[in-house]
Amino acid sequence: MTGTDTFPRDGSRTAASSLEQNGHTYVENRITGSTDLFSCTWKSTTESDTSTQAKRILPDLCADFIVDSDGRSWLVGPATGADLVSVAAGTTMWGIRIKPPALRSLLGAAADAVQDSKIAFDDILTSRQARVLADALRHEAVDANLLDQLWRGLEPDYGIERGYCALIASPTTPVREIAADLGVSERHFRRSITSSVGLSPKLIQKVQRMQNALALSRSADLTLSSLACRAGYADQAHLARDTRALAGLTPTQLLREHR
C-alpha cells in the first residue's frame, strides 16, 4: 500500500453518494448532529418496473438496522461472506448503519452472536426502541437527538474503537503487533474485538483489504498484481484466495460486478 492511498473508514459503502444500477437506487446520508454509535442512514429503492434479480451483498464490517415498505424491520449482523439478496420490484428499504465498534454496546450482548444473522427488531430492542426507530427510518426523520433518546447515555468502548481503527488502517500488520502497540495481550485483543465488533481481528483485516481493492479499482486502472500490492495483499494469489473466500468470485469477476 502506498503512502498516498486512502480508503473510506467511516462505515460508508458509497461515501455518502448515490449509486444507480439496473433500476436500483441507493443513497446514503449523514446523520444530523453528532453520534458515536452510527455512521449514516441510507435508502434503497427498486423501481416497480424492474425484474426481481439477486444482488450480491459483500461483507463490509458493518451491521444495519433496516425497515422496508412492507412493514418489516430487522437487524443485519456483520457478514463473514457474500449474501445473495433478491428484492421485489417496487420495494423501498431504509436503514441506519452501526459503527462496528459500537455494536456490542447497542445490543447489550456479545456482537458475534448476531454474525451472519437477520433478527427482527422486537427480538433485540425494547418495544419503544423498535417502534420509534422503525417509524423514524420510514419517515427519514432520524437524527442524533432521536438516537440519544433511544440509547440515552450510551457510548462505544473507545478502547475497542482504537483497536478496530488500527486493524482497518493496517490490514497487513500482524494482529499480535497491533495488540502489543495497544498494550494488551493478543488473546485479550482477539476476544474483546470479536465480542464487540462481531468479527475476529483477522477477518476484519481480510474484509478491509477487499474493500481497499474495490476502492482502488474504481479510482485507477491497475493490473491485478498492482491492485493486490496497493490494497495490502502479499501477492495476486493472496488476493484471489481472499476474494474467493469472501465473495465467492475471482478477482476479475468481483471487479466486473462491483466496480
pLDDT greater than 60 at residue 144: yes
Within this chain, do residues 122 and 53 fall inside the same structural domain, yes or no? yes
Within this chain, do residues 91 and 175 fall inside the same structural domain, yes or no? no
Average pLDDT over residues 27-51: 89
Within this chain, do residues 50 and 105 fall inside the same structural domain, yes or no? yes
pLDDT, greater one: 105 or 13: 105
What's the pLDDT score for residue 34? 81
What's the pLDDT score for residue 1? 37
- Lowest-confidence range among 38-42, 85-89, 221-225? 85-89
In a domain, 250, yes or no: yes
Beta bridge partners of 86: 54
With left for phi above 0 and alpha for psi between -120 and 50, is residue 250 left, alpha or beta?
beta
In a domain, 4, yes or no: no
Beta bridge partners of 56: 84
Could you tell me the pLDDT band of residue 152, with boundaries at 50, 70 and 90?
Answer: very high
In a domain, 7, yes or no: no
- Lowest-confidence range among 18-32, 81-95, 119-133? 18-32
Backbone angles phi, psi at 221, to 5 degrees: -95, 100
| Degrees, nearest 5: CA angle 129-92-145 | 35
Average pLDDT over residues 44-59: 80
Please answer whether residues 137 and 40 qualify as being in contact, where contact means their C-beta atoms are separated by less than 8 angstroms: no
Q: Which residue has 450480491 as its cell numbers?
A: 56
What's the pLDDT score for residue 50? 66
Within this chain, do residues 107 and 76 fall inside the same structural domain, yes or no? yes
pLDDT tens digits, 85-107: 888 888 999 999 999 999 999 99
Backbone angles phi, psi at 107, to 5 degrees: -80, -30
In a domain, 31, yes or no: yes
pLDDT greater than 60 at residue 141: yes
In a domain, 228, yes or no: yes
Q: Where are the alpha helices (DSSP H) in 65-200?
A: 103-107, 121-124, 127-138, 144-150, 158-169, 175-182, 186-197
Determine the structural domain holding residue 178 and report its residue range.
158-201
* Confidence (pTM): 0.89
pLDDT tens digits, 73-87: 999 999 999 998 888
In a domain, 11, yes or no: no
Could you tell me the pLDDT band of residue 13, with boundaries at 50, 70 and 90?
Answer: very low
Within this chain, do residues 26 and 86 fall inside the same structural domain, yes or no? yes
Within this chain, do residues 45 and 71 fall inside the same structural domain, yes or no? yes
**Number of domains, the chain:** 3
Within this chain, do residues 95 and 40 fall inside the same structural domain, yes or no? yes
Within this chain, do residues 85 and 122 fall inside the same structural domain, yes or no? yes
Please answer whether residues 94 and 135 qualify as being in contact, where contact means their C-beta atoms are separated by less than 8 angstroms: no
10 Å CB burial of residue 21 (0-12, 13-18, 19+) is exposed
Residue after which a domain boundary falls, among 150, 166, 188: 150
Q: What is the CATH number for 228?
A: 1.10.10
In a domain, 241, yes or no: yes
In a domain, 3, yes or no: no
Within this chain, do residues 41 and 85 fall inside the same structural domain, yes or no? yes
pLDDT greater than 90 at residue 159: yes
Please name the amino acid found at residue 177. E
